[in-house]
Amino acid sequence: MINMDPFIIARVIHVIAIVLWIGGVAMVTLVLLPAIKRLIEPEQRVDFFEKIEGNFAWQSRITTVLAGGSGFYMLFQTGGWQRLSVDGSGWLHLMIFTWLLFTIMLFILEPLVLHRLIKSKAKRDPEGTFSMISRLHYVLLTVSLITVGWAVAASHGFIL
């Protein structure tokens, strides 16, 4: 018999969304950006990256919404909101912070501010702009991996 428990379905959606979301950030940070730096002339790097990243943005937005929706559903179902105030819930705070950071970046800053700002800065300083984009992705990946690692450790009893 198939168990259609909504909580289990939410957890499956959550984990798959996180794998695709953070895996995508890792792919961009560790593979795409270094390849662009090696293969594309400095004056064309930002434009090339923006074209490719634009194709990836939809996947990031969908997986971020799925991760947030399923995560908040699970918090609601388990009374997790109360857990935010107890010792040892720092991983949960970091998880919400990471989700909020990406949500603001993907839905507000990127489409409304960053694209114009990056294009303008790239005209004046293409190498510096590409370096800034790379550093930002390394920071986002680092925060994401710390969050995932801490959450997995906490789910197995690790308390910081």
Count of the separate structural domains present in the chain = 1
- Please check whether residue 116 lies inside any domain of the structure: yes
Instruction: Provide the residue range defining the domain that includes 120.
Output: 6-40+50-76+95-155
pLDDT exceeds 70 at position 12: yes
136: left (phi over 0), alpha (psi -120 to 50) or beta: alpha
In-domain check, residue 87: no
Determine, yes or no, domain membership for 88.
no
1 — pLDDT class (breaks 50, 70, 90): low
pLDDT in tens, 22-36: 999 999 999 999 999
Rounded to the nearest angstrom, the gap between the alpha carbon of residue 96 and the centroid of all alpha carbons in its chain is 11
**Helix, strand, or coil (residue 34):** helix
Rounded CA gap, 49 and 152, in Å?
32
Per residue in 85-126, pLDDT tens?
888 889 999 999 999 999 999 999 999 999 999 999 999 999
